[in-house]
């Protein structure tokens, strides 16, 4: 539907896609102000939805591509923004080559809450292609990302994200800023990649998965397939402590030790 004063996208949000469309103009303005867009920027917008942010990004005259799973939304966005690159696919299934084309880019998005954690793990695995990320997340997920050790929020996601990113919480967003209203609060964050990671990424992912598979286990039990008690002690790590007590640097020491051990 196109009224006289511009486009009006009338599409109902779908629960299976985790859709909550951003509608609050003051929040949209605050996001755009936080991003500090330049016409030289090459940006990927994940989950553009009805195009609330897309419109502002197009106005900034940057190079822009969109990734949107909802075919109905894609059809409407293509009609409104002719010539804009739009990938109509699940972001979790899109190959990095299709996203970046060999060129580092900025990422912006209101991430679907039902896939935010696996998507963050995916983006972390290719962070060398990402200049920075400005993303909307469920507040609970954002708190896990920036959590300190020994807190209930601290876990595999916390360690993984802190190993690969410098994360900054920018501001919280109330449910009223979206339609339909989510049942939780949201947080807008900036994440800048740590380009130099002095550890084996695949081994780190396996170690963290094992370590945090059961929060009640001590390290000597959680990591028994990787390190014995004496080896942990040689790394100045208490075998009787729990994974959530370790800082990311402790896990780096473990991985580098295992790499030399092979």
What is the per-residue pLDDT across 32-72, written as a single tens digit (0 to 9) for each? Answer: 999 999 999 999 999 999 999 999 999 999 999 999 999 99
pLDDT at 118 over 90: yes
Please report the domains of the chain, with CATH numbers, ordered by start residue: 15-193 (3.40.50.150), 201-261 (1.10.8.100)
- Distance CA(109)–CA(53), nearest Å, equals 8
Q: Which tokens go with 5?
A: 């004063």
Task: Give the DSSP letter string of 107-141.
Answer: EEEE--TTTHHHHHHHHHHTGGGEEEEEEEEEHHH
Segment among 5-9, 46-50, 64-68, 246-250 with least mean pLDDT: 5-9
Can you tell me the mean pLDDT for 167-179? 97
Task: Identify the pLDDT of residue 4.
Answer: 36
What is the per-residue pLDDT across 12-22, written as a single tens digit (0 to 9) for each? Answer: 444 445 578 99
For the beta sheet containing 105-110, the strands, ordered from the edge strand earlier in sequence to the opposite edge, are 85-87, 63-67, 42-46, 105-110, 130-138, 186-193, 165-173
249 pLDDT band, cuts 50/70/90, is very high
Contact between 229 and 239 (Cβ < 8 Å): yes
Alpha helices in the chain (DSSP H): 25-35, 52-59, 71-80, 96-100, 116-125, 139-145, 156-164, 201-211, 219-222, 229-234, 248-261
The pLDDT > 90 percentage for the chain reads: 86
Residue 77, preceding peptide bond in cis (omega within 30° of 0): no
């Amino acid at each position: 539907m196109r009224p006289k004063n511009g486009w009006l996208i009338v599409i109902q949000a779908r629960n299976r896609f985790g859709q909550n469309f951003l509608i609050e103009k003051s929040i949209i303005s605050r996001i755009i102000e936080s991003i500090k867009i330049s016409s030289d920027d090459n940006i990927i917008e994940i989950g553009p939805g009805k195009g609330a942010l897309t419109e502002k990004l197009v106005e900034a005259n940057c190079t822009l591509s969109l990734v949107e799973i909802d075919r109905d939304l894609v059809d409407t966005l293509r009609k409104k923004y002719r010539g804009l690159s739009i990938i109509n696919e699940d972001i979790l299934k899109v190959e990095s080559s299709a996203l970046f084309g060999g060129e580092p880019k900025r990422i912006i998005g209101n991430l679907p809450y039902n896939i935010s954690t696996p998507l963050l793990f995916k983006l972390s695995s290719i962070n060398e292609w990402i200049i920075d990320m400005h993303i909307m997340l469920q507040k609970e997920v954002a708190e896990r990302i920036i959590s300190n050790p020994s807190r209930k929020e601290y876990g595999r996601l916390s360690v993984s994200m802190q190993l690969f990113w410098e994360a900054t919480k920018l501001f919280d967003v109330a449910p009223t800023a979206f339609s339909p209203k989510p049942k939780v609060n949201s947080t807008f964050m900036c994440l800048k990649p740590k380009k130099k990671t002095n550890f084996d990424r695949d081994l780190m992912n396996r170690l963290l998965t094992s370590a945090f598979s059961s929060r009640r286990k001590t390290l000597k039990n959680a990591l028994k397939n990787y390190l014995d008690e004496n080896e942990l002690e040689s790394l100045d790590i208490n075998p009787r402590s729990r994974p959530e007590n370790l800082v990311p640097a402790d896990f780096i020491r473990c991985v580098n030790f295992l790499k030399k051990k092979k």
